[in-house]
Every structure is written in structure tokens, then in C-alpha cells.
Structure 1
Amino acid sequence: MQNRNLVRKVAMVGVAGSAGLLAVRFLFPNMGKKRRSSPIAKAVQEFRSAIGDFLSLLPKNAVDGFETDVHQVKVYSRLLRPEGNHHKDQLPFILLAGAGLSGRYFIPLGKLLSQQAMVYIPDYPGCGWSGKPMDPPGVGELAETIRSWMDANGIDRAHLVGNSMGSQVAVELAYRYPKRVGKLVLTCPSVEPMSRTLPRQFGRFLINFPLEPLTMQMIYMLDYTQTGFLRMLRMLQRICRDPVETKLPYIQAPVLVVQGSRDLAVSQAWAEKVASLLPNSRLELIPGKAHCVMYSAADQVAQLTRDLIHSEGAEPEQLFIVQGITQQQVLA
């Protein structure tokens, strides 16, 4: 008898509970459904993701590295090796950063390019984990440093990928030592003539800064702190003295110029001018990306670089590619 009463009570509780759930669902039909993320929730998620990406690039041992004595200064370099032995005959890549920056923001692109060949990412003297000389080097001195660094590491020839000032260093190296260079990728190349003063250069950096991914903004702040703010400004001042346009017509190597459509540090007009002055070049505009396009669009830049490397050496021409549409340009 007691068991029957217990069963009845349990059944009544079950019925009451089910009726209650139905009533709640009727009164609150959206309860339990996935809600759209609020702007604050999205911002928090983006911040967490950026912090994770930043922390993965932060340590010195994020990827393999080594030091080389060059002109009495220790130059630290990151090294990304391809898997297997079928890439031994491929020319390596050397990735060259912008003024005051370490090579850590090149790591995502380096990992993609290392699927094809060896990738080296040296920190300039005075930047990143490299030694700090008394005076920051200019473009010519940096080109000589990279050439000596190549000698010290047994690299006879390499493809060069530069960003901002790194593009100037790549051009200088190809201009002075054309036999040491395979092909060039110049991403957001600096410095256009109308901006060759320190105030204008720094001003352009400031207006471009908010357009970069949050992780890239963190890298800027870390690297400039590691380099030293005054040293970074002196480097900017020295690169402004480099008339890169006078050397471009003499570059023999095939060149890919990559420009972000939202880049406010370097104008699209200047990128087009750079491409037009090079005897064998093409220009790729990547929509929605700012100055550090090889970081924010690493997949696209890696694929464009592979296409360049695998292309046969054609007769000199200028190709302008906008959002994947190619047009042959006739230059006056």
C-alpha cells in the first residue's frame, strides 16, 4: 500500500513538472535558443583570440633560431624547415621586416612558405633579439649586413620577401648583388617621395595602426619597446634618405608587389609607381588589408609567392592584378 502511494506521488510530481515545462515554453518561446552574440561578447572573443595569437609568437623559442656574428654584432634569426628531403634543391626564402620590428610577425607567413623551402627570418641589428649597435643602420648598411649574414650561413642565393622598409632592403640587395637574389616579393613597399620626412612617416604609422589586427598592434608595441622608441625613430629617419625609385629600373629579378587596399602608411599610387618602374613585375591589391598585409593575409600572400616562384621567367612586363582580375597595362 505504501509503495502504491509513493508511485502515485512520483507520478503526480512528474505530471506537474511536465505541465510546468510546457507552460514555461509557452510563455517564453525563445528560452533555451542560441542567442546572437552581442558586440561586447564578440569584442571579448576577438580579444581572447588576439591574446592567444600574440602569446604564441612572443617567446624567443616560438620557432627554431640561431645567432650569427656579423660585423661584430650578433644577428638572431628564426629558422623554419620543410618536412622531408624533397625540398633540398629549392632556393630558401629570407623574410625582411619593417623598421624597428623583429621578424616575429613574419612567422605565420614563414610557416606557410616552409612547406616549399627553407625559411630564414633574421632580426636586424638593433631590433628584436639581435645585438644593439650604437647607431641604427640605414638601408645600405642593412643590405650589406644581410649579404654578410648569407655568406656566414652558406646561402649563395635566395628569394627575398620584404615588408615596408624590408622591401627597400630587398631592392638594395638585388641592386648591389643581383646574382644573390632569386625572386622578390615587396609587400607595401616604402618610402614614397612625398612622405620622406620623420613627422610624415610617423604620422602615417599612427593613422594606419588602428587598421591592423589587434595581434599586430600588440607586436608593434612589444617590438618597438624591445628596439627602443628613439632607435626606431632614428631608423625611420635614415630610411627616408633612400631614393629607392632610382634603383627599381635596374632590378633584374622578377618581382611581385603586394599592396593592402586599406594601407594608410603607403599609398596605392606609390605601389603602382613601384611596379611600373620595375622591368619585370606585377602588382596585387588585397582588399580590406592594411600595411602588414603579409601578416593579416598570410594565406593569400603565401599563395601569390608560390605562384611567382613557380612561374617561368617571362619577358619583362608589368601586370596589375586587382581582386584576382588581371589586366595588361601599357605604360607610357
Structure 2
Amino acid sequence: MSHRYLARLHDALATRRAVFSIDLPGFGGLPKPGFDVDIAAMSRALGELIGTLHEGPVVLVGHSMGSQWVVETAVQRPDSVAHVVAMGPVADVSDRSLTGQAVALAVDSMREPPGINAIVFTDYLRCGVPWYLMQVRHMLTYPIEERVADLRVPLLVVRGSRDPIAGLAWCRRLRDRAASAQLVQIPGRAHVAQQSSPRAVASAILACTVPAVTP
């Protein structure tokens, strides 16, 4: 995926905070590295990038697989991060398989507005099958339920109440494993809640993270 399905959330947050949307290598039409890049390596690159923003500790917001990157980045660079927001985090340990995730994604597509499905479909095409399959292997093996326990900063888990990919029990498990965490549900929304209800998601993020970063 790319910044395109975070655009409405970006705009909602930008009315209150400085916001940067970041596409990582191989996504959003960016060139693909000529070698494999796992979660730890991608997070190191993200950590180096946020270090150049000169914004002080940041609130890292990631969706779906992006939740893995922001959690790992915060574990690696806790001094650079004030808060982690994991929206629709994957992959649910109860069905951590390519087939299970594909079925959940198909169910989700029937619950999303057509405009969101169009963004998702075209971004998958831009990503390409070889890079997708390489990255999904890392997504399915990354132990996010263990890494959230290593966080030294607060965690906010956000899910749509109709999300078939990031189930309620799974999100509660992530919340409970972290030392400091909250869980917010967006009523009536599916996996891409940040695009279908950007104001609600932005309000949840601001309400939970502003106190952590206010001098």
C-alpha cells in the first residue's frame, strides 16, 4: 500500500500537527531494492529517516503491515518516538497464513467503500506480485505480539469494529501485552477505517497521543 490510503487521515491530523506521510522502498511506486528487506531492515531505514525530520520524538502511525514497521522502529529507536499507533495491526496469530489473510482481505473488500477498494487494488498492482510475496512472508513471521511487549513508549491500537483482518480478540491481546496501551474501535468500519472515517481516527489519535508529546 501507499500514502494514498492514508491521505484523508493525513489531512485530518494536519489541522492540528505537523504530519509526514512516508512510502517505503518498493511501495507507492518507489523503486524496489535489488535484495530482500525484512521488517527489521525496513524499520532501520524508517528510523534513520525520522531522525532527519528534526521534529523531536514523533508519533509513529502505521496501518496493517505498517503497524509492524512502526512497532519495530519504536523498539529500535525509543528516544526518537513518543507514541506508537497501530491501526488494523497484522497478523492475527490465530490464522497466520497466506490463505487465511487472503480470505480475510476478500471479506474486507466487501465491507469497504468502492473508492477504498480502488486504491487498494491499484496499489497492489504498483507493488507487483514478486515484491508483495517477498514482503508478505515477513509480515506472516513477524512476532508483533512479542515486540509490543518490548515497547518503551505508549501504544494505541485502532481497529474498525467490522475489521475481519485485525479482530477484536487479537487487538486486545496486543493491547494487553504492551506495558502502556489503549484500544479504540471505530464503529461500523472495516480494515481501512482511517480512510472511511478519518476524523474519528484522527480524534482518537490526538486524544491519546497529544498529552504524551506536549512539553
Q: How many residues align?
A: 213
CA distance in 2 between partners of 1:196 and 1:135 (Å): 24
Identify unmatched segments of 5+ residues in structure 2: none
TM-score, reference length from structure 1: 0.61
Q: Cα offset for 1:228?
A: 0.7
Shift of 1:135: 3.7
Partner residue of 1:178? 78
Please tell me the residue identity of whatever aligns with 1:230.
Answer: P
Of 157, 165, 175 in structure 2, the residue corresponding to residue 257 of structure 1 is 157
Post-superposition offset of 1:230: 3.0
The two structures, once aligned, show a CA RMSD in angstroms of 1.7
Higher helix share: 2
Note the alpha carbon deviations across 1:228-255, whole angstroms, 9 max, x for none: 1332132112111111111212212122
Q: 2:125 aligns with which of 219, 222, 225?
A: 225
Q: Secondary structure at the match of 2:10?
A: helix
Q: Does structure 2 conserve the Cα–Cα contact (< 8 Å) formed by 1:112 and 1:299? A: yes
- TM-score of the aligned structures, taking structure 2 as reference length: 0.92
Secondary structure at the residue paired with 1:121?
coil
Which residue of 2 is the match for residue 243 of structure 1?
A: 143
Distance 1:263 1:152 in 2: 35
Partner in structure 1 of residue 113 of structure 2: 213
CA contact under 8 A between 2:5 and 2:120: conserved in structure 1? no
Query: Structure 1's 195 and 185: CA in aligned 2 closer, same or farther, altered over 3 A?
Result: same
Confirm or deny that 1:130 pairs with 2:30.
yes
CA distance in structure 2 between the partners assigned to 1:232 and 1:135 by the alignment: 13
1:267 to 164, 167, 173: 167
Flag the structure with higher strand content.
1
Task: State the match for 1:310 in structure 2.
Answer: 210
Deviation at 1:258, TM superposition (A): 0.9
Shift of 1:227: 0.9
Q: Distance in 1 between matches of 2:83 and 2:200?
A: 17
Per the TM alignment, residue 136 of structure 1 is displaced from its structure 2 partner at its CA by 4.9
% identity of equivalent residues: 27
Q: Secondary structure at the match of 1:199?
A: helix
CA separation of 1:135/1:195 partners in 2, compared to 1, >3 Å: closer, same or farther? farther
2:191: which partner in 1? 291
Amino acid at match of 1:147: G
- The answer to whether structure 1 residue 158 and structure 2 residue 58 are counterparts is yes
Please tell me whether Structure 1 or Structure 2 has the larger radius of gyration of its CA atoms: 1
Could you tell me how far 1:170 is from its partner in structure 2? 0.9
- Deviations for 1:188-242, whole angstroms, at most 9, x for unmatched residues? 1111222222222222212211111111100011101111133213211211111
SS in structure 2 of the partner of residue 211 of structure 1: coil
Alignment partners' CA distance in 2, 1:230 and 1:196: 20
Amino acid corresponding to residue 171 of structure 1 in structure 2: V
Contact 1:126–1:136 at 8 Å: present in 2 too?
Answer: no
Matching residue of 1:317: none
- Greater relative contact order (Cα 8 A, min sep 6): structure 1 or 2? 2
Provide closer, same or farther for how the CA distance between residues 136 and 155 of structure 1 changes in structure 2, counting only shifts above 3 A.
farther
Once the 2 structures are TM-superposed, how far is the Cα of residue 134 of structure 1 from its aligned partner?
A: 2.4
Alignment partner for residue 114 of structure 1, among 1, 14, 18?
A: 14
> Secondary structure, in 3 states, of the residue corresponding to 2:125?
helix
Question: How far did residue 310 of structure 1 move?
Answer: 2.8
1:301 and 2:201 correspond: yes
